[in-house]
Amino acid sequence: MTSDPSLPVIAKYIASCGVASRRAAVELVRAGRAAVNGVSVKDPSIRIKSDDEVTVDGKTVSPEPVKYYVMLNKPRGYVCTGADPHAKKRAVDLIDLPARLVSAGRLDKDSEGLIIFSNDGDYINRLAHPSFQVLKVYHVRLDRELSAAETAALKKGIRDNGEFLRPEDVSPLGDRLYAFTLNEGRNREIRRMAAFFGLEVTRLVRISVGKLSLGALPSGRWRLLSPAEVTASVLV
């Protein structure tokens, strides 16, 4: 361990190994799950030398030589967590690549659509962290139409369980279908906003993340992003 500012901090290093996103790496270090040269550390900002051995949960980690950038059309019923190896349906298991992949954000079990996986922690962080303003668009079908008053109130934002929830935009598409645009993407955010007005979400599909669109990719299928798509997706 060193204080040399030219060297990576441990959280960034762990993310570069494909173990977790940058934010998740910070939390796992704080939880005491990481060690450097056999010594447990809890400070995610300590710096790592090239000859340091970093372990997570007792297993040595190192940067993966090949970076993968994957778009998946997640089907309903699959979970996005990679932390539970016993989950019956994990979205990451639909992707056949020789790498530890992490998702950029989450789609809950009952939601569908575009989700990005990668073993590049910096890339995942740029897509998922609200500070980078990478907007996500969802097509949401409700059990009834939103009234004009409800739409106006929704655009101003609501409070639920102590959190302020506000979409960047809500646009009607007809027949109880709406386009919701979000930046933060808090846990079950759209469903919570709908429930605030006594509405139920009957289907929720993410169709875009920044400049990346789901297009005609079939449900349950994945594809690698092109280098141009990778570059464009983090430009705002």
- Banded model confidence at residue 3, pLDDT cuts 50, 70, 90: low
Domains assigned to the chain: 10-60 (3.10.290.10), 69-131+212-233 (3.30.70.580), 135-209 (3.30.70.1560)
Among candidate residues 167, 105, 165, the one with its CA nearest the CA of residue 137: 167
pLDDT given for residue 164 in this prediction: 94
- Banded model confidence at residue 154, pLDDT cuts 50, 70, 90: very high
Alpha helices in the chain (DSSP H): 10-16, 22-30, 121-128, 148-156, 189-196, 227-233
- Banded model confidence at residue 151, pLDDT cuts 50, 70, 90: very high
pLDDT given for residue 86 in this prediction: 66
Cα–Cα distances in Å, from 150 out to 158, 172, 180, 192, 193? 11, 12, 14, 14, 10
What are all long-range contacts of 82-86, with beta carbons under 8 Å and residues at least 24 apart? none
Instruction: Give catalytic residue positions.
Output: 108
Do the strands 112-118 and 201-209 form a parallel or antiparallel pair, or are they unpaired? parallel
Alpha-carbon distance of 18 to 103, in angstroms, equals 10
**What mean pLDDT is predicted for residues 208-221?**
95
pLDDT at 124 over 60: yes
- Banded model confidence at residue 83, pLDDT cuts 50, 70, 90: low
What residues contact 57, with CB distance under 8 A and at least 6 apart?
33
Please write the tens of the pLDDT for every residue from 14-56: 888 878 777 888 999 999 999 999 999 999 999 999 889 999 9
